[in-house]
């Protein structure tokens, strides 16, 4: 279970460099199909004052380092890229305002958000963009938030949201504005020395942890070797290529996406999962899986299993307000044809638990250290092979259980849209107050009839909720 989000005002910590895994995520975007862009849409009961909103986001950018930092690569890839303050930071580039087109509905907002999500980031700037959309039906509004996955994962994004939103209708006092962080641009010589120093410290740390680990070992050498071998085999499973999707229907891929949303009561999902003595995530994944079964049956392509991608949250109670990425990717061959919903949830609960317990999870970062040093074209090709066979991705993000406000404007819903990264669809769940909001992101080449797909997903959840 993820820790509770930090309270507003609590410091949010980030490292000065990307991890090896984040560096890989950044590198493989040479292939635009592997872009890791997180998009979210918060719907608002009313539109906040634009100047007040600008002040609020400016304040957040001064308190959250990543919102003013750009990615700077190191010479010869000696060390992972650094996060450095952008000397040309311009808030007006990252925060924009528009008036809704069409009829001013949520569908119009989603249609507007789709091309925003498709566009790659300007790599010379901090990796985020917010767009306020006002003029919706009944004077409502929405905030479209786009963040690169290299900054944070879903759980970390919730922690960062606490600097943007508040727990009451009070409009912030503009006198509370921290000083702008100083941007220091390193020369190439400084950058090289810094990279070498970083790697030296890291290798010493690895050696120290290895020695300490050996001292703690109380098993025999044979048992130690057996465990190490098991971890290596497990790691092989995690990175093994899966070139071809299991789906006979969702095969083609493109760079175009379509967004849909689905809202369900938290209590209903919890009640359903309890019947299988499982976690809420099992009811969520089972609903998606059963919807996938219906979609394939609709097209006359019944199938028993699909390959699901799922991020494994590595946070623990000691994570504090660390808002960077703390997850490892898993791929799970998931049954979609189990007749009984309770049995389906129980099976999925066992499969996801096994994925979390994979011994190879601990080797993901060391493997990333090796992979990021390989030629970029080769690394990108390897990742494309590993992920282009994923049929769909699910992600479950614990959200805020109490009402939130954006400078006095009540937040009515928050819809998350995770990256496809080669999959045909990504369905991400974010809880908020008494509901779960599911953002559905589909590749329009893989799923050409999004209305049919949404209907099948709704029917899948109806089966789970009984």
224 and 248 share a domain?
A: no
Domain residues for the domain of 197 are 189-237
Q: State pLDDT tens for residues 55-86.
A: 999 999 999 999 999 999 876 667 888 999 99
Three-class secondary structure of residue 310 per DSSP: strand
Ranges of residues in the chain whose predicted pLDDT is under 50: 1-8, 214, 217, 222-236, 318-321, 360, 363
Nearest Cα to 323, choosing from 70, 5, 85, 44? 5
Going from the C-alpha of 285 to that of each of 63, 108, 158, 442, the distances in angstroms are: 36, 28, 21, 16
Whether 117 maps to a domain, the answer reads yes
- What's the N-to-C CA distance of the chain in angstroms? 26
50 and 136 share a domain?
A: yes
Whether 49 maps to a domain, the answer reads yes
Whether 184 maps to a domain, the answer reads no
Chain length of the chain: 466
37 and 156 share a domain?
A: yes
Tokens of residue 428, six digits? 């991400």
Going from the C-alpha of 6 to that of each of 10, 140, 172, 457, the distances in angstroms are: 6, 29, 19, 33
Please report the pLDDT score of residue 44 as a whole number: 98
Exposed, middle or buried by CB within 10 Å (0-12, 13-18, 19+), for 418? buried
Whether 133 maps to a domain, the answer reads yes
267 and 131 share a domain?
A: no
323 and 204 share a domain?
A: no
Q: How far apart are CA 406 and CA 74, in angstroms?
A: 38
Nearest Cα to 444, choosing from 233, 250, 276, 214? 250
263 and 144 share a domain?
A: no
Please report the pLDDT score of residue 30 as a whole number: 81
Whether 258 maps to a domain, the answer reads yes
* Structural domains of the chain, count: 3
Q: With b meaning 16 or more CB within 10 Å and e meaning fewer, what string describes 247-256?
A: bebbeebeee
Q: Quote the DSSP letter at residue 448.
A: S
55 and 121 share a domain?
A: yes
Please report the pLDDT score of residue 355 as a whole number: 87
Whether 416 maps to a domain, the answer reads no
Phi, psi for 284 (deg, rounded to 5):
-60, -55
pTM higher than 0.75, yes or no? yes
382 and 300 share a domain?
A: yes
CA 79, 195, 375, 35 torsion: positive or negative? positive
Tokens of residue 230, six digits? 């098991």
Q: How far apart are CA 113 and CA 115, in angstroms?
A: 6
Q: State pLDDT tens for residues 363-382.
A: 455 555 555 555 566 566 66
Whether 183 maps to a domain, the answer reads no
156 and 194 share a domain?
A: no
100 and 130 share a domain?
A: yes
- Report the 10 Å Cβ neighbour count for 106: 17
Phi, psi for 327 (deg, rounded to 5):
-150, 160
User: Which CATH number characterizes residue 110's domain?
Assistant: 3.30.559.10
40 and 163 share a domain?
A: yes
231 and 283 share a domain?
A: no
């Amino acid at each position: 279970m993820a820790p509770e989000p930090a309270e507003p005002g609590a410091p949010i910590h980030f490292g000065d460099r990307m991890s090896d895994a984040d560096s890989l995520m950044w590198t493989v975007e040479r292939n635009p199909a592997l872009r890791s862009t997180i998009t979210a849409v918060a719907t608002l009961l009313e539109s906040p004052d634009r100047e007040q909103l600008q002040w609020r986001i400016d304040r957040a950018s001064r308190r959250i380092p990543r919102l003013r930092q750009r990615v700077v690569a190191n010479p010869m890839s000696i060390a992972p890229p650094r996060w450095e303050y952008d000397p040309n930071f311009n808030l007006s580039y990252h925060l924009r305002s528009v008036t809704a087109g069409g009829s001013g509905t949520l569908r119009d907002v989603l249609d507007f958000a789709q091309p925003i999500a498709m566009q790659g980031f300007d790599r010379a700037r901090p990796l985020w963009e917010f767009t306020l959309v006002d003029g919706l039906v009944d004077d409502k509004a929405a905030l479209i938030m786009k963040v690169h996955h290299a900054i944070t994962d879903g759980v970390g994004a919730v922690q960062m949201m606490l600097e943007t939103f508040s727990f009451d209708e009070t409009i912030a006092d503009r006198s509370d504005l921290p000083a702008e962080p100083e941007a220091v641009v390193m020369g190439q010589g400084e950058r090289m020395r810094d990279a070498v120093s970083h790697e030296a410290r890291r290798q010493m740390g690895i050696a120290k942890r290895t020695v300490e680990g050996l001292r703690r070992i109380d098993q025999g050498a044979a048992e130690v070797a057996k465990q190490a071998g098991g971890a290596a085999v497990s790691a092989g499973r995690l990175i093994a290529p899966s070139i071809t999707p299991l789906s006979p229907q969702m095969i083609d891929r493109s760079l175009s996406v379509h967004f849909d949303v689905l809202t369900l009561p938290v209590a209903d999902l919890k009640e359903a999962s309890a019947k299988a003595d499982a976690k809420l995530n099992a009811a969520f994944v089972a609903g998606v899986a059963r919807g996938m079964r219906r979609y394939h049956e609709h097209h006359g392509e019944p199938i028993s299993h699909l390959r699901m991608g799922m991020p494994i949250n590595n946070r623990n109670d000691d994570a504090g307000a660390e808002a960077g990425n703390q997850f490892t990717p898993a791929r799970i061959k998931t049954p979609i044809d189990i007749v009984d919903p309770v049995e389906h949830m129980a099976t999925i609960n066992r499969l996801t638990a096994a994925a979390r317990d994979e011994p190879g999870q601990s080797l993901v970062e060391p493997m990333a250290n090796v992979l990021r040093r390989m030629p970029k074209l080769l690394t990108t090709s390897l990742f494309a092979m590993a992920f282009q066979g994923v049929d769909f991705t699910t992600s479950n993000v614990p959200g805020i259980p109490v009402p939130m406000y954006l400078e006095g404007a009540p937040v009515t819903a928050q819809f998350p849209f995770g990256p496809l990264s080669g999959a045909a669809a990504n369905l991400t769940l974010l809880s908020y107050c008494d509901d779960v909001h599911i953002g559905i992101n589909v590749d329009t080449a893989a799923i050409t009839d999004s209305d049919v797909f949404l209907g099948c997903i709704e029917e899948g959840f109806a089966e789970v909720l009984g």
